[in-house]
Amino acid sequence: MTDTVKLLSLAVATPDNIILQTDAAETASRLFSDRFQDFKYLARVFESTGIRKRHLARPLSWFEEPHGWQDRMGAYAEVASELFRRTATSALQRAGIDAGEVDCIVTASSTGLATPSLEARLAGELGFRCDIERVPIFGLGCAAGISGLAVATNMAKSRPGAVVLFVAIELCSLAFRLDELTRPNIIATALFGDGAAACVLRTGDGGIAEIVSTGEHLFPDSLGIMGWKIDDTGFGIVLEQSLPTFAEAHLRGAVAGILERAGLLISDIDRFICHPGGAKVLAALEAALSLKEGSLDIEREVIGDYGNMSSPTVLFVLERAIAAGLPRLSALLALGPGFSASCITLKRVS
């Protein structure tokens, strides 16, 4: 149908600095083993995640020195701007659309702050119009790749024919803390990486897939499962050990409710395309959704190559799923702070 929102293109990018998981483990041991008595026990996470390498905003040596807000946000503005430039330019080129044709930009990021926002900083350089609508989103964490895409979808749906650019950028590594001698911080050094993704949306014919429905579920009394704490040094990760258990116990009902509101059942979905939060989270997703063990294979490939990049990670999975051939009906799924679940259904364009 010409009045439905179509995904026209998708592009991804990562910083140039690459860190092997073996090097991350060695560096973390050198920095923490003498100061944190449980480090040897927690160090097993460097192997159990299934991560082989990650991309970081700064070289590994940068993280061996203490940094405050100014250093961290300076690095964020520089590297996030470059990733925005690369992903937006590539996505627009793939869609065959000039930057001057973009009517709205939705930018999701929860790992840094920039005012003016990233799209304003790059508007002149990239050629966006002066009357462009800008929607910067902060605070949705890992779920923002889907929740932000849902916002972009609603913007496109309410403005038939308008071109909407969605960009998700996260520099998780900039939250690395030498001073945080905690289990969540150690796990973060083994799990998170940096990256960005951009999508172009518009109503009309063609495209890669039709966005059929969007939805979210906010779990009550779950604020402490995932998020940031903020102090004078920067962001500090909040990550409960119970997250996979919680997801396995409660996710199915939440997803069923989201789909039901769109007139769909879990059994209608041919392929779930999930945010790979970690090896245990992927196992919990498979169990909760009654998927065959190991069926989230692309998700495991992506986390192995990039780690958990927060919001753009699910779009890296989508890129590979598109290359492999989308089935008739897919569902993008991610969990994020709140604690929340976000879901978008996609119908393949023949």
Query: In a 3-state reduction of DSSP, which class is residue 289?
Result: coil
Selection from 165, 172, 195, 199 nearest residue 319 by Cα: 199
**Which segment of 97-111, 142-156, 174-188, 190-204 scores lowest on mean pLDDT?**
174-188
Gyration radius (Cα) of the chain, Å: 19
The pLDDT value recorded for residue 18 is 96
CB 277 within 8 A of CB 308: yes
Reading phi first (left if > 0) and then psi (alpha if -120 to 50, else beta), residue 62 is in alpha
* CA atoms within a 13 Å half-sphere pointing along the CA-CB vector of 49: 32
Domains of the chain: 5-203 (3.40.47.10), 209-348 (3.40.47.10)
Q: What is the mean pLDDT of residues 302-330?
A: 96
pLDDT beyond 80 at 222: no
For residue 230, the Cα-to-chain-centroid distance in whole angstroms is 21
Question: In this predicted structure, what is the pLDDT of residue 230?
Answer: 80
Residue 221: half-sphere exposure toward Cβ, Cα within 13 Å:
1
Q: Provide the whole-model pTM.
A: 0.93
How confident is residue 2, by pLDDT bands cut at 50, 70 and 90?
A: low
Catalytic annotation, residues: 142
Tracing tokens 């749906």 back to the chain, one arrives at 157
Q: Which amino acid belongs to residue 239?
A: L
Task: Report the pLDDT averaged over residues 56-64.
Answer: 91
Least confidently predicted of 50-64, 168-182, 239-253: 239-253
Q: Is 45 a residue whose pLDDT tops 80?
A: no
